[in-house]
Chains A and B, each alone.
Chain A
Amino acid sequence: MSLENQIETLRSELTAAIAGADNEAALDTVRVSALGKKGSVSALLGTLGSMAADERKSAGPVINGLKNDIAGLIEARSTELKGAALEARLKAETVDVTLPLPPAPTAKGRIHPISQTIDEITAIFSDMGFAIAEGPDIETDYFNFTALNFPEGHPAREMHDTFFMKPGPDGMKKVLRTHTSPVQVRVMQKTNEKPAASYLTPSQDPPIRVVMPGRTYRNDSDQTHTPMFHQVEGLVIDKDSHIGQLRWVLEEFLKAFFEVPSVTLRFRPSFFPFTEPSMEVDVQCDRSGSEVKIGEGNDWLEILGCGMVHPNVLRNAGLDPDVYQGFAWGMGIDRLAMLKYGMPDLRAFFDADQRWIEHYGFRPLDLPTLFGGLSS
């Protein structure tokens, strides 16, 4: 057989073997059989040494050409086989991506509307330069009433449906605070004593600007009253703080809180023992639909009480009412939350019903800020 014939036979045999190799191992066997030390192509190459010079000159390129061609075919087949193997693996690894995930913890846990509302109120007032002050829930009769100009036996005390603590051995009369106003006195009252606990706000010298959110208690229960509720009190004491500024503070607060461009307030003279003059404030709203819309409409909704701190309260706190003056206000946090977010029944706030919390609650990272927006 001529060399040419020999090469062509070998080429066609090997080409068929390469094409027939259906995995990398089979292909490698072909490679060894052809290009290995004892391979058929290698054997052919080995014959070159025993050839005459001119014969080698013509046969060399032909045999080397075969070697290169076969190597190229093996390489190409190898790439092809790798691709097919990868494809098969990918196919085998395919999953149903529509399967639902287990819920992310942050998708489930919710912040109670009261906490969220307190955070919102804090965001607004802290921007206006107010600090957050606190006092105890179990309060003395003195701080809850007497210091706030509720004389002993005064009918105004009766308006409060007070919870009384069982009388203690020290004879000190204690109540569950009926409002957050006692914190006013604790903040204003001059004393050198350090607060008994770290949450208690130390007494301050004017100028004073504080808001005081907290739990309050009254012996009353129906759809709009619960024996425990939340109030936020505000206090400004300086040498020239007056009702004009009180109006500004409340308007700015309510605008920011309800996230509306403007609010219209109606101030009505009223009576509270601890303020003089005293006022109740109504906000203009639209109650025609199923929800209350603040900032539009023709209805009025009572929203808070306020006034100039009563001279007797200033005196009780050791401040001279001819030098210092200021204003205070108080409003229901639960009520603000209900108005803004539309919960119909106050009692549900305290029921720990998971469905209610997850419906009316807020996402863990819905942090109310003025720069990011109070609510999303």
Chain B
Amino acid sequence: MKFTLDWLKEHLETTASTEEIGKALTMIGLEVEGIESQGKALEKFVIAHVVEAKSHPNSDHLNICKVDAGTGELIDVVCGAPNVKTGMKSVFAFPGTYIPGKDFELKGGVVIRGAPSNGMLCSAAELQLSNDHDGIITLPDDAPIGQKYVDYAGINGVVFDISITPNRGDATGVYGVARDLAAFGLGTLKKTDFSPVPSKGKSPIAPLPQQFSGDEPKAIRKFAGRYIANVKNGPSPDWLQARLRAVGLRPINTIVDITNLVSLGWGRPLHAYDADKVEGTMVLRNARGEEFDALDNKVYTLDETMTVIADDKGPLCLGGIMGGIRSGVTDETTNIFMECASWDPELIARTGRKTGIVSDARYRLERSVDPALTEPGMELATRLVLELCGGEPAEPAISGEDVFANTTVEFPLGEVRRLTGLEVSAEKIEAILLALGFVAEGSGDKRTVKVPSWRPDVTQKADLVEEVMRMVGVDNVPVEPLARLNHVAPRILTTIQNRRRIARRVLASRGLDEAVTWSFISHDEATRFGGGTEDRQLANAIASDMTDMRPSLLPGLLAGARRNANRGFADVSLFEVGQIFLSDKPEGQHTYASGVRTGTAKVDGAGRHWSGKAEVVSVWDAKADLAAVLDALGVDIDKVQVLPEAANWSHPGRGGRFALGPKVTLGWFGELHPALAAELDISGPVAAFEIDLDALPEARKKATKTKPAIDLSQFQPVSRDFAFVMDKGVAAATILRAAKGADKALITDVGIFDVFEGVHVGEGKKSVAIEVTLQPRDRTLTDEDIEKVSSAIVTAVTKTTGGELRK
């Protein structure tokens, strides 16, 4: 909200400087967003003497002038104003000056119909000081030549722009702001004369009947109207126009300007109707789907939840929001009907939202306007109309009832110290509350506080504490350390929080960059990756590719990889550790750690290098990333089953699943299905993995942190190699399991060191070579021992795999 310093001073007796006021406003919760000098835009305009003005020989309406602007020489100026004459004083703009009323920068050295012109004599409209563009400004003869016009005319005022929080409807008028500043100690609040204005005769417009059926939403509470006959409308006085302009409003005519003055000055919106344009009876009712031509020159379709003021022909005004064109007040209006009404803030807010109309009335009424100001507001408006436009006011036409909260709060004064830590004396608390309009009764530590009608936001003790605190100043609250509950903090992070942290660091250590991608993806992507159900869709998505909560991190990462490729970076490795959504329930939210590698972005770097070939990523890179994370998170990889079951996004023959038993899936890895890659517009091989960090087993709670005793054998281990030929389809895991099982005590490790296929091992066959490590515990192994375990291994493997020992 904007207001000028002058305007504030009309309500506040103060000697405080602009700076002090600005600081105070911010500290009491009316945050200053800007303090501007109103005359800043007009700084360059100066007072000038028209030394000579004679007709332009080549024009019937232009004059050629010699102007003294205090520079010591006469300036040639061609002027088209009808009122320019020799000897007058006016306002002059030098070349290079920005002319706000014309929105251009004045050029110098121009020639107009053969006569040179180096500047401009200006009208009030060109300075945006009024709508008067009939002629240039005429100044008194004693106006000092060369002086800045803003200084001379006193339009060097200060404009404050403050932000009002939604709870402070009372501060949406300058008067309310002044009340707060006075309570803060920055001056004295000046009272406004709201006394009734004597009426002359009966009102031709009867109190408006409320025509609502029982359960209809009814926004109107009390409607006060006043018929004023024989007003003389037209442009408002300069001071009023200047005041409205300073805060960014366009002056219309005196009556309309008065309604704006009261709205901004006292936070009390009004509306004036041209009474002669009202047809039949004015009533209050809900709209019936009518079209409404509003004063913002737009047409709105109103519905039955919205209250209107209507006559026989239809809506005249959308109640509490905006008036209509049909009964708008013009310069020619002679009889008016001035409305001052109180409304239900919630219903005004709802109508405002529905129509999207942003108006000064809605802004105030949805924050709530003092219900005690309905009739006084009408009297104030009447007084201003009589003052500025004359006229005869009829008796007020009043219907309905205001709604008062009449709140009283039991307020133990100790609450101030309890909630803020501030020590404030009972006298000071009482004084602050009184200055803000609260009436406190009682003694000792207890007060019963009556809340003023303009503060419906205050309903309980904590609200009163805030009132006291903002007037004392939060900066005066003494800072007090928060005592520790434990001197050494116990473990802070939960298991899942630790898993996320470790997974991130492990993946980054493997050369992947951490991305953070949107939680919502397109419906198409969601469906492809196992989501897309209705419960995970937004009702009001911001974009068509952000409609569904992601069921997987891969679509976001793949889109990221695609964007990188489009920028010329085809070899990328990205991961994300974040939430995915299996349903809209809290338990449907899991944390996944997922990653993608594209092109040659393998763990030891992308691109060609002198030390080796630039190989493209494959299923093995994805499997290695997945295993690295599981290992870092304490999962015993030897106990995890790796199954040849590809994820729905994976190449069916180059993807697998990590599982623990039949129920728990830890993750998937694989190469992206080539068809899916093509659909997603990603070229080249993509290795990807997903880990469900929530699926990992919780470490068993142990009574002691002691590790089992170490068993160090004093005998050297022995290793033996075996090669088998078997069907191509036999899983390596089967071979390893069989070999290991041949002698669980002696065999400590089995590794595969060679796998190959070829004609010489037979069609559909492969050769697998394993190295078995034997660790004797109680004596050195004899040849016989070794022979025995070797034959057990051969038997176990051949039996399980259907293969045979390669000779």
Residues of A at the B interface (CB closer than 8 Å) are 99, 102-103, 105-106, 108-112, 114-115, 119, 122, 126-132, 134-138, 153-156, 158-159, 163-168, 174, 176, 195-201, 207, 209, 215, 217, 219-221, 227-228, 236, 240-245, 247-249, 251, 266-271, 276-280, 308, 310-311, 321, 325, 349-355, 357-358, 361, 363-365, 367
- CB contact between A245 and one of B167, B421, B559 (< 8 Å): that residue: B421
- Interface flags for B603-646 (1: CB within 8 Å of A; 0: not) read 11100011110000000000000000000000000000000000
Given A155-B349, A358-B513, is A132 in contact with B485 using a C-beta cutoff of 8 Å?
A: no
Q: Can you spell out 16 A-B residue pairs with CB atoms less than 8 angstroms apart?
A: A108-B573, A130-B492, A137-B581, A138-B584, A165-B535, A167-B539, A196-B587, A215-B578, A227-B542, A228-B519, A240-B418, A242-B421, A243-B477, A270-B165, A276-B462, A365-B505
- B-side contacts of A267, CB under 8 Å: 474-475, 477
Interface centre among B495, B504, B536, B546 (most CB of A within 10 A): B504
Given A164-B539, A268-B474, is A243 in contact with B469 using a C-beta cutoff of 8 Å?
A: yes
Verify A199–B492 contact, CB threshold 8 A. no
- Does B702 sit within 8 A of A, measured CB to CB? no
- CB contact between B418 and one of A242, A358, A361 (< 8 Å): that residue: A242
> How far is the CB of A282 from the nearest CB of chain B, in Å?
9
A114 to B77, CA, bound (A): 63
Interface centre among B29, B495, B574, B590 (most CB of A within 10 A): B29
Verify A138–B367 contact, CB threshold 8 A. no
Verify B492–A198 contact, CB threshold 8 A. no
- Does B470 sit within 8 A of A, measured CB to CB? yes
Residues of chain B in range 244-262 having any CB-CB distance to chain A below 8 Å? none
- Does B771 sit within 8 A of A, measured CB to CB? no
- CB contact between B542 and one of A131, A209, A219 (< 8 Å): that residue: A219
- CB contact between B505 and one of A227, A321, A367 (< 8 Å): that residue: A367
* B549 to A, closest residue via Cβ: A138
Verify A244–B513 contact, CB threshold 8 A. no
Given A109-B512, A168-B584, is A352 in contact with B560 using a C-beta cutoff of 8 Å?
A: yes
- B-side contacts of A167, CB under 8 Å: 539
Verify B517–A153 contact, CB threshold 8 A. no
Verify A119–B462 contact, CB threshold 8 A. no
* A168 to B, closest residue via Cβ: B535
- CB contact between B419 and one of A109, A154, A243 (< 8 Å): that residue: A243
Verify B496–A207 contact, CB threshold 8 A. no
Verify A159–B603 contact, CB threshold 8 A. no
- CB contact between A99 and one of B590, B591, B610 (< 8 Å): that residue: B610
Q: Which 9 A-B pairs have the closest CB atoms?
A: A352-B560, A244-B421, A269-B29, A277-B466, A271-B165, A105-B511, A109-B508, A364-B508, A267-B474
Residues of chain B in range 534-556 having any CB-CB distance to chain A below 8 Å? 534-542, 546, 549, 556
Verify B514–A245 contact, CB threshold 8 A. no
Given A129-B489, A155-B366, A176-B538, is A243 in contact with B589 using a C-beta cutoff of 8 Å?
A: no
Q: What total count of A-B pairs have CB within 8 Å?
A: 288
Given A248-B480, A248-B481, A352-B557, is A308 in contact with B419 using a C-beta cutoff of 8 Å?
A: yes
Beyond A108-B605, A111-B504, A354-B572, 19 additional contacts (C-beta under 8 Å) are: A105-B603, A108-B513, A110-B514, A126-B493, A128-B484, A131-B492, A196-B587, A268-B26, A269-B29, A269-B469, A277-B419, A277-B420, A277-B470, A278-B466, A352-B515, A352-B557, A352-B563, A358-B513, A364-B508
- Does B510 sit within 8 A of A, measured CB to CB? yes
* A132 to B, closest residue via Cβ: B497
Given A132-B493, A176-B538, A269-B470, is A105 in contact with B420 using a C-beta cutoff of 8 Å?
A: no
- CB contact between A243 and one of B349, B420, B586 (< 8 Å): that residue: B420
- Does B657 sit within 8 A of A, measured CB to CB? no
Given A129-B486, A269-B28, is A165 in contact with B539 using a C-beta cutoff of 8 Å?
A: yes
- CB contact between B474 and one of A131, A269, A361 (< 8 Å): that residue: A269
- CB contact between B513 and one of A166, A270, A361 (< 8 Å): that residue: A361
* B419 to A, closest residue via Cβ: A308
- CB contact between B587 and one of A130, A197, A266, A365 (< 8 Å): that residue: A197
Q: Is the interface of B mostly helix, strand, loop or mixed?
A: mixed
Given A129-B489, A138-B549, A243-B477, is A308 in contact with B462 using a C-beta cutoff of 8 Å?
A: yes
> How far is the CB of B728 from the nearest CB of chain A, in Å?
33
Interface centre among A136, A201, A236 (most CB of B within 10 A): A136
- CB contact between A108 and one of B511, B517, B535, B541 (< 8 Å): that residue: B511
A217 to B539, CA, bound (A): 14
Given A278-B466, A311-B461, A352-B556, is A115 in contact with B514 using a C-beta cutoff of 8 Å?
A: yes
- CB contact between A215 and one of B353, B497, B508, B519 (< 8 Å): that residue: B519
- A-side contacts of B541, CB under 8 Å: 163
A109 to B586, CA, bound (A): 32
A29 to B353, CA, bound (A): 109
- Interface flags for B452-477 (1: CB within 8 Å of A; 0: not) read 00000000111101100110001101
